[in-house]
Amino acid sequence: MKKRILCLLTAAGMFLTGCGSSSGGNEKDSGKKSGSSKGAEAPMIQGYERVWYDEFDGDTLNENIWSYKPSEEEPTNGELQSYTANESNVYLQDGNLVLRARKGANGYTSGRIIADQKGKDFTFGKVVVRAKIPEGKGLHTAVRMFPTDDSVYGEWPKSGELDVMEALGSKVHSCYGTAVFGEPQTSKQGTCELARSSFSSEFHEFTMEWEPGVISWYVDGNLYHKTDDWFTHTPGKEDPAFPAPFNQNFQVQLELAVGGTWAGEPNDSTNFDNAEFVIDYVRVYQQHEYDTNVERNVGVFRNADSTGNFIVNGDFRDDEKLDDEWYWAFQTFTTGKGAASIADNTLTITTEDPGSLDYSIQLVQAGLPARQGKKYRFSFDAWSDETRTMIVDVSAPDHDFGRYMQDTKVDLTQTKQHYSFEFSEDKRDDTNARIEFNMGKSDSAANIYIQNVRYELVN
């Protein structure tokens, strides 16, 4: 029976339906598709040339394709692991590559390899990876691509990064596909969520199609994210023509990180006896030719309703789901624990643990317009069961979460009050601004009530 996949596009607030899993995600034990055998070749795809592949059917890592990439300095992004070239962290087993994270007396070690040998970098193509991720808080799995020469457009992020797949061990029903670029750092990220099963219980096939004017991400052959809007920029210089920076040779990198600002630190529930990123195969294909005469799509701005409000369901008339990032989204991070619900034209947030960050308890709505040179008003009614505070802002999730409206503390009382803030947008046009209600890192866990949220153009 086919399994249904629910796929969410977080950047644009879109929701795709009708996805189903292919038979490639059903072999739990062997990790190999039926009919595969030692030494088997990757299949051909009509309209594509097979550039290179690794089925991991040997006894040792094929160093004609891969190089170990051990840590050369302290981990970044708050990560805890040291990458090594040890067989305990990188090895082949039962026709699969295994990247293994381990916890030792001196900290964490893990595996990372990169396909940087002669002829393994490429410009444009289809990357196909079949893999199974580990479950456990603090584990962060990734199939990334970085430019061979990051001096072409400048250091990261101006040089670009393509993430074929990322997944967190604490959210094994979700995976992410991302393009990172620009200065300030900008990203276009999509999320695919499995309605049944998980990315840790079964193997799934992750595909990224990289073409000159569009980049698309798939799970088990089902599209869940695409973007045709990116750029690169160096202050004081003219922007290189689209599709820069994604018009140069990139290399595939596989890694399993421990900790970090996104994954968080492992805890007592993280089982390092099973902290394995298991990869069945990596396959790279290219079309016979590509048309590089393409133009950038700068996106479509959301229209306001008849009252001038760009917020969807700002009066909370509809009891929508709040965990699917379709319009309103309620989220928790770090140790934050809470819930949100809609009733009687009111959104109620209850907090069990406020967590350690302002955004540990967070309500957001993305997909809002922010046009350069325009002024906007963000307003709402709110109150709480006892005196407490929350922080509101208007952010740019596609632009390294910069702020259009700076973080502003709001004092709440038991009496409903109206709050209104105006700000001018002096940066680039953005079709994906986001309002945020941040209720974490607070001395109070009192319930908060919100009504009549508006985001409107002033002039």
- The pLDDT tens digits of the residues spanning 278-310 come to 999 999 999 999 999 998 887 789 999 999 999
From 79, 166, 205, 436, the catalytic residue: 166
Rounded CA-CA distance 184/97 in Å is 36
Instruction: Name the residue with higher pLDDT: 124 or 23.
Output: 124
CATH topology of domain 328-457: Jelly Rolls (2.60.120)
166 is catalytic: yes
Read off the pLDDT of each residue in 99-119 and give the average, rounded to a whole number.
94
155 is catalytic: no
The phi and psi torsions of 231 (rounded to 5 degrees) equal: -160, 170
Instruction: Name the residue with higher pLDDT: 111 or 326.
Output: 111
Count of CB atoms situated within 10 Å of the CB of 457: 14
Q: What is the pLDDT of residues 220-248, one digit of tens each?
A: 999 999 999 898 877 777 788 999 999 99
Domain residue ranges of the chain, discontinuous segments joined by + = 4-287, 328-457
CB burial class (10 A; 0-12, 13-18, 19+) of residue 130? buried
From 55, 79, 135, 161, the catalytic residue: 161
Query: What is the CATH number assigned to the segment(s) 4-287?
Result: 2.60.120.200
Side-chain-side CA neighbours of 43 within 13 Å: the count stands at 7
pLDDT above 90 for 445: yes
pLDDT band for position 195 (cuts 50, 70, 90)? confident
Count of CB atoms situated within 10 Å of the CB of 17: 8
Identical fold, 4-287 and 328-457: yes
Cα dihedral: 133, 134, 139, 145 (round 10): -20
